[in-house]
């Protein structure tokens, strides 16, 4: 319990640090964001107005504290480009990005965990060899290329699924919405599976090498029974950590892949904002995505502590 609170404490500190980094990078690196965001032909008045709107005429620390205060209250500022509240912009996009990344994550996990375990147990068998070869190749494949190839074959040539876009009606027409998300989900899932299978396989191999598995077999447990009783728990520790990393990856994969499939989600919003130098939107999105990653990491740590008594008990002794 105490360790869990401690972990939540460090999570909060990391979140604050991340917000400092995002803030500092965007404000202090060379290039006045106010000037660049308005472009050429800006009058001094406009610039001045924007600066006071941004608060860039105030000391940096004051700016930061004000901004953080607003963020905590849920006020993410106003977009330079659309003049809409950033919070609203983000909320609009969530119904595309969240289902996309979660579905891809679940699909990848469902494929890679069993496949990785099987490939490790039969490491010299045809499946084991094929899995390690394909995944070695798979980690070298860029996710957007997978998307492009799937579009080429399944959408443009076979005409099975839409090549991109999202129905204007959104989730009011669930069938159309799902159809437009199938290829993006499969794309992200394929790219993630290549990485996950490798980790699951190597975590399982480590477990298979362990003496206590041999002990279990010497007591009469069969190969799979021993693995289920003693191995999976041990393999779960590294696997949980890779699942955590991959949950974050699926979100970032979604950011890239939305651009392949012209899906109006968070990724497209982020990219458009980066190109337009729409500072408030970039700031909010980067901080938000980073926060998701940091929270996931903290959850992974807590989950590992729950699985492995060594982490749980030794930390508590130390605390």
Partner 1 sequence: MTDLTTAVPAATGAAEPRPRRRARRLPPSLVVGAVLVGLVALVGLVSLVWTPYALDDTGDGARLAGPSAAHWGGTDRLGRDLLSQLMAGAGNALVVAVASMVVAGVLGVTVGVLAGATRRWVDVTLLSAVDLLIAFPTLLLAMLIVTVRGASLWSAVWAIGISGSAVIARVTRVNVARVLREDYVTAAHAAGTGWWGTVTRHVVPNVWPTLLVQLMLLGGGAVLAEASLSYLGLGAPPPQASWGRLLQEAQSTMLVQPWGAILPGVAIVVTVLGLNLLGDGIRERTDPNLRGDR
Partner 2 sequence: MTALLSVDDLRVETSTGRTLLDGVSWSLDAGGRLGIVGESGSGKSLTALAVLGLLPEGMRATGRVLLDGTDLLTLPPRALGRVRGAQVAMVFQEPLTALDPLMTVGRQITGPLRLHRGLRGSAARDEAARLARLVHLTDTERILRSYPWQLSGGQRQRVALAMALACEPRVLLADEPTTALDVTVQAEVLDLLDDLVDRTGVALAFVSHDLPVVARVARDLVVMRDGRVVERTTVADALAGGEAAYTRDLVAAARAVTGLPTPTRTAPEDAR
Asked if 279 interacts with partner 1 (CB under 8 A), we say yes
Q: Which stretch binds partner 1 (CB under 8 A): 70-78, 109-117, 255-263, 306-314?
A: 255-263
Q: Which of partner 1, partner 2, none does 61 bind, CB closer than 5 to 8 A by kind? A: none
> Closer CB to partner 1, residue 99 or residue 147?
147
Q: Check if the beta carbon of residue 251 is closer than 8 Å to that of residue 289.
A: yes
Long-range contacts from 308-311, C-beta under 8 angstroms, 24+ separation? 308/237
- In whole angstroms, how close is the CB of 70 to partner 1 at the nearest point? 19
Q: Which of partner 1, partner 2, none does 110 bind, CB closer than 5 to 8 A by kind? A: none
Comparing CA positions, the residue from 308, 300, 292, 313 lying closest to residue 101 is 292
Burial label, 154 (beta-carbon count in 10 A; 0-12, 13-18, 19+): middle
Judged by CB under 8 A, which of 68, 92, 179, 221 binds partner 2?
A: 221
- In whole angstroms, how close is the CB of 201 to partner 2 at the nearest point? 15
Q: Which stretch binds partner 2 (CB under 8 A): 58-66, 161-169, 212-220, 252-260?
A: 212-220
- In whole angstroms, how close is the CB of 200 to partner 2 at the nearest point? 18
281 CB-near residues (< 8 Å, 6+ apart): 79, 80, 81, 86, 89, 269, 270, 273
Asked if 159 interacts with partner 2 (CB under 8 A), we say no
Asked if 64 interacts with partner 2 (CB under 8 A), we say no
Cα angle value 154/157/163 (rounded, 5°): 55
Number of residues that bind partner 2 (CB under 8 A): 23
Helix (H) or strand (E) holding 44: helix 44-54
Q: Which of partner 2, partner 1, none does 26 bind, CB closer than 5 to 8 A by kind? A: partner 1
């Amino acid at each position: 319990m105490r360790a869990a609170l401690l972990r939540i404490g460090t999570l909060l500190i990391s979140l604050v640090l991340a917000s400092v980094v995002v803030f500092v990078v965007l404000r202090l690196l060379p290039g006045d964001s106010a000037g660049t965001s308005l472009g050429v032909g800006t009058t001094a008045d406009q610039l001045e107005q924007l600066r006071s709107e941004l608060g860039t005429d105030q000391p940096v620390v004051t700016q930061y504290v004000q901004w953080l205060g607003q963020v905590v209250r849920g006020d993410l500022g106003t977009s330079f480009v659309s003049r809409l509240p950033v919070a609203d912009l983000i909320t609009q996009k969530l119904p595309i990005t969240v289902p996309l990344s979660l579905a891809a994550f679940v699909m990848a996990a469902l494929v890679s965990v069993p496949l990785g375990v099987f490939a490790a147990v039969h490491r010299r068998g045809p499946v084991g060899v094929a899995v390690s070869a394909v995944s070695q190749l798979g980690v070298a494949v860029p996710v957007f290329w997978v998307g492009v190839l799937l579009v080429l074959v399944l959408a443009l040539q076979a005409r099975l699924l839409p090549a991109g876009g999202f129905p204007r009606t959104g989730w009011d027409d669930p069938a159309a919405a799902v159809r437009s998300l199938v290829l993006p989900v499969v794309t992200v899932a394929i790219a993630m599976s290549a990485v996950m299978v490798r980790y699951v396989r190597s975590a399982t191999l480590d477990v298979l090498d362990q003496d206590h598995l041999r002990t279990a077999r010497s007591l009469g447990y069969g190969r799979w029974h021993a693995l289920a009783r003693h191995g999976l728990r041990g393999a779960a520790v590294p696997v949980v950590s890779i699942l955590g990393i991959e949950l974050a990856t699926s979100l970032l994969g979604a950011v890239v892949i939305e651009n392949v499939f012209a899906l109006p989600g968070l990724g497209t919003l982020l990219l458009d904002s980066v190109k337009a130098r729409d500072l408030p939107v970039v700031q909010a999105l980067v901080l938000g995505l980073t926060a998701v990653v940091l929270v996931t990491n903290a959850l992974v740590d807590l989950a590992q502590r729950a699985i492995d008594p060594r982490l749980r008990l030794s930390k508590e002794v130390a605390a």
